[in-house]
Structure 1
Amino acid sequence: MADRKTKQLCKKLHSDHIALIDHADVDEMAARSLLEAGVQVVINLSSYMTGHYPAEGARRLLMDGISLYEVPANLYDAQFIERLNGCLASIEDNQLTVYTKQGDKQLIPLQIVTAEYIQAKWQEANDSLDETLSRFIDNTLQYASREKDLFLKPLYPLSLRTKMDNRHVVVVVRGKHYREDLQTLHAYIREYRPVLIGVDGGADALMHAGYIPDLIVGDMDSVSDKALQCGAEIVVHAFANGRAPGQVRMNHLGVSYHLLPAPGTSEDVAMLLAYEENAQLIVTIGTHTNMIDFLEKGRKGMASTLLVRTKIGTKLIDAKGVNQLYQPRWSWKLWGWCLAAMLTPIGAALVINPVARHAAQMLWTQWRIWAF
């Protein structure tokens, strides 16, 4: 199976498929999606790691025993993926054999990607990290200066049935460690019952964790039909000029939605929406917060996120990676206290109740007879 968008391809993959992607600097989330699909072989038309920044995807795939290959740039054309998608194929001796739909047989040499190669690229990326960071900061400040007036204005007003006034709001993005963070915050969500906003695939993340999102915000390119039809209120994020590719899908599904033209990313819009709806507290899970996060999304700066987070201020709490901060640990001392807590009421009943005391004496006598 082949697709230029890895996240779209992963929805169609099965364990017996060879995945053909065109994804430079494969990120960790893409790697996790490929692993969840169960594939054992991945072929990339781009470099798994260019050395531009330390992308985690290739290392993760190799650690899990996935075979990785790259196709030399001179051996494919613009229609390569479309032509090979759905064809029967096999790999032997670092060579891809493809049986095309027209009945032809095509042999394509492959370059195997080794752990040593990825480690060399990893070192190269780390050596140039300061230069990459410098360009990233310059880009962020340049766009922040240019776009600040857009973020100072309030969003286009929507008549939402989801009320956030003076309530806690949890914004879920399908970013790094989102599953573990959702699990860690389970007690908080159960006690405070916050408004749950899923940003695109974050709606599916909420449903997989056993929740129903109250609101789904995004351009609708990575959320499932099941999530869109779960009863949540839907806000389609449009470009500032009003163009919204996600409208086509919503109209096809026949699901009602609000259209919200706004600059920035969909997760920025979700946080701004909660802020302008007067949320008491905004908790984010899986959002993109640093240079590596944004480079993995193909963005060379984070101007919109910088402006939004500056505007929201103290109302915002980022729960990303909270699961790594503390994990409860069981100890023999804790088990001893639990056992004592259970035995204390039993001992009290034996002392106070004559029937219970008599039964205990009979059991003690029977045990002595059996033991001796």
Structure 2
Amino acid sequence: MRLSSRQRTETDLPGVVGTVRVGRRADLLAPRLRPGDIAVIDHTDLDRESARALADSGAVLVVNAQPMISGRFPNLGPEVLARAGIDLVDGIGADGFAAIADGRQVRVHEGRVHVGEAERAAGRVVDLATVEAEMEAARTGLVTQLESLTRTSTEFLRREQDLLLHGKGLPVTATRFADRSAVVVVAGPEHEAELRSIKPYLKEQEPVLVAVGRVADRLRERGYRPDVVVLDADDDADRPSAAVLKAARDVVVRTGPGRPSGAEGLERMGVRPLVFETSATAEDAALLIADAGDAKVVIGVGLHASLEEFLDRQRGGLASTYLTRLRLGSRLVDAAAVPRLYSGRVRPHHLLLVMLAGFVALAASVSVTPVGQDWLDQLADLLPLV
């Protein structure tokens, strides 16, 4: 385990020292972290998005009650943290997790967590070499995951066949999608870079902008106003600000069948949401809404494009993700492909430059002909001598 000299105790005891912040879900704990803190989580198979949030927080060490990589599939989070130079300890167990109090000053050395002189928990040190070896071994579990996908996809299609095949149950939005392109933005690992890459497209084509969850706030900070905001009734922590919700033309709340939507709370804020009852994920609900509106093309920003990404972040909704993409088919385009396909709108000065280049080429061609020589001689006679 890498030791940070700036974090050592005044008595020069070995290890990493910092204020500990405890939370079971890494994505909910990350906003509470400050540079130099030690994060303690209870998160099996840490995913990349949660790991990125921990790394961006400035935490110097992450302690996990569960295995960072269980071996079921190659989850991407531990590699993100290891490559960011953040120390990792896993497997301290439920008792170790319960023994560490939030806000205390702790010292972690060789996988052991000390509060003062007392050892409160012990686990395994995980470095980059360990992560890479376990990731390689976990890839053998993909066959099992694919078999599970086949089974869950059949079950999901049986439940949602009216939605996927006939579009029944989809909310009717006030936003018009027909004959327009739509950009669906999800808070994926690369969504900020992808937004920058399609900035000319957003400015020139003015597509329908659909934001999923809290990413709507980030769009507003960049100067964009989402036309449609899709919320997950089961994830209050991912809800954007009231100002963004009120500014949106449509707010859609995705809720599971037979579960409360939480629409009453939004109505008290002055927002009248549309309720979309489905077992699909909020991300997939947004794609289905754009598809049902007959958008010409649907560009996905921050979406999960590979099998490993699906397994890493969308394990519970993998069947939903898979079948939704089949539903959209060729209409769905990943944002990473847009800069290769779209070079921008032709502007007047572009045409002027083309015309000027053509005029120069024509003049050069004419000048070498007898007629052109006569014209040049006549022009020389008309010009005053200098």
Query: TM-score, normalized by length of structure 2?
Result: 0.72
Q: Is the 8 A contact 2:163 2:169 kept in 1?
A: no
Q: Residue in 2 aligned with 1:133?
A: 146
Q: Is the 8 A contact 2:112 2:119 kept in 1?
A: no
1:247 Cα deviation after fit: 4.1
Superposed CA offset, 1:199-257 (max 9, x none): 1133234235432212110215323436645622321111122522x547636756443
Query: Which of residues 256, 264, 281 is equivalent to 1:239?
Result: 256
Matches within 5 A, 1:218-233: 218-219=231-232, 220-225=236-241, 228-229=244-245, 231-232=247-248, 233=250
Q: Is the 8 A contact 1:200 1:223 kept in 2?
A: yes
Q: Residue in 1 aligned with 2:82?
A: 62
Q: Residue in 1 aligned with 2:377?
A: none
Q: Residue in 1 aligned with 2:27?
A: 7
Superposed CA offset, 1:259-285 (max 9, x none): 222231112211221222232322111
Q: Residue in 1 aligned with 2:334?
A: 319
Gaps of 5+ in 1: 329-340, 345-372
Residue 291 (1) aligns with residue 304 (2): no
Q: Residue in 2 aligned with 1:364?
A: none
Superposed CA offset, 1:104-158 (max 9, x none): 9662223211223212211211233334333333432443345323433435464
Query: Which of residues 20, 29, 38 is equivalent to 2:49?
Result: 29
Counting aligned pairs with the same residue, the percent is 27
Q: Is the 8 A contact 1:139 1:300 kept in 2?
A: no
1:93 Cα deviation after fit: 4.9
Q: Cα 1:72–1:20, aligned 2, differ >3 Å: closer, same or farther? A: closer
Q: For residues 158 and 145 of structure 1, what CA distance do their matches in structure 2 show?
A: 20
Q: For residues 128 and 121 of structure 1, what CA distance do their matches in structure 2 show?
A: 11
Matches within 5 A, 1:17-56: 17-56=37-76
SS of equivalent residue, structure 1 residue 221: helix
Query: Which of residues 307, 318, 331 is equivalent to 1:302?
Result: 318
Q: For residues 128 and 85 of structure 1, what CA distance do their matches in structure 2 show?
A: 35
Q: Residue in 2 aligned with 1:279?
A: 295
Q: CA RMSD in A?
A: 3.4
Q: Which amino acid aligns with 2:256?
A: F
Q: Is the 8 A contact 2:114 2:121 kept in 1?
A: yes
Q: Which amino acid aligns with 1:22?
A: D
SS of equivalent residue, structure 2 residue 223: coil
1:49 Cα deviation after fit: 1.0
Q: Which amino acid aligns with 1:85?
A: D
Q: Residue in 1 aligned with 2:225?
A: 212
Deviates more, 1:144-153 or 1:273-282: 144-153
Aligned length: 324
Query: Which of residues 177, 196, 205 is equivalent to 2:209?
Result: 196
Q: Residue in 2 aligned with 1:116?
A: 129
1:189 Cα deviation after fit: 0.7
Q: Cα 1:54–1:227, aligned 2, differ >3 Å: closer, same or farther? A: farther
Q: Which amino acid aligns with 1:259?
A: V
Q: Cα 1:225–1:301, aligned 2, differ >3 Å: closer, same or farther? A: closer
Q: For residues 192 and 62 of structure 2, what CA distance do their matches in structure 1 show?
A: 24
Superposed CA offset, 1:45-68 (max 9, x none): 111111221122111211111011
Q: Which amino acid aligns with 1:21?
A: I
Q: Is the 8 A contact 2:96 2:122 kept in 1?
A: no
SS of equivalent residue, structure 2 residue 32: coil
Q: Is the 8 A contact 1:228 1:234 kept in 2?
A: no
Q: Cα 1:188–1:163, aligned 2, differ >3 Å: closer, same or farther? A: same
